[in-house]
């Protein structure tokens, strides 16, 4: 698993870790039942505090993405597709808010913005 930490990001390190693991689960890179590194192993690999890694894993477990089994390890949970869809909607909404803010400050109209979305959506 390849996790990249950015010290210049405005997001805390634990959120960066949780986000990247979540994205790997959502895009299918990590599948149900896959074993994740232990908290200690991941913190050592990333050269960060065990507490930071623990916080990321706690958030992922709370959201139902991972399950920890004492003595066995941490694994990707079976996920509810509706829950995944809702999480993707939230991510899209957050990114669109950023894009709309840039568009408005650049003088791009709603029609122009919609055209951009239509073109990109059709290309992907």
Chunked in runs of 10, what are the mean pLDDT values of the chain (124 residues)? Answer: 91 96 88 94 96 96 91 86 78 94 96 94 87
CATH topology for the 13-76 domain = Arc Repressor Mutant, subunit A (1.10.10)
Q: Is 26 in contact with 67 (CB distance < 8 Å)?
A: no
Q: What is the pLDDT of residue 21?
A: 94
pLDDT on residue 85: 77
pLDDT of 23 reads 87
What is the spatial distance between Cα 23 and Cα 39, in angstroms, rounded to a whole number? 19
User: Is there a contact between 56 and 18 (Cβ–Cβ < 8 Å)?
Assistant: yes
From its phi and psi, is residue 49 left (phi > 0), alpha (psi between -120 and 50) or beta? beta
């Amino acid at each position: 698993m390849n996790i990249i930490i950015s010290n210049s990001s405005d997001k805390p390190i634990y959120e960066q870790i949780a986000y990247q693991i979540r994205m790997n689960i959502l895009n299918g890179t990590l599948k149900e039942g896959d074993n994740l590194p232990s908290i200690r192993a991941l913190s050592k690999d990333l050269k960060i505090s065990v507490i930071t890694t623990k916080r990321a894993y706690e958030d992922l477990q709370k959201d139902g993405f991972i399950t920890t089994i004492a003595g066995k390890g941490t694994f990707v949970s079976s996920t509810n597709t509706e829950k995944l869809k809702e999480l993707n909607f939230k991510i899209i909404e957050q990114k669109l808010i950023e894009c709309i803010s840039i568009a408005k400050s650049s003088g791009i109209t709603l029609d122009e913005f919609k055209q951009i979305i239509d073109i990109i959506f059709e290309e992907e």
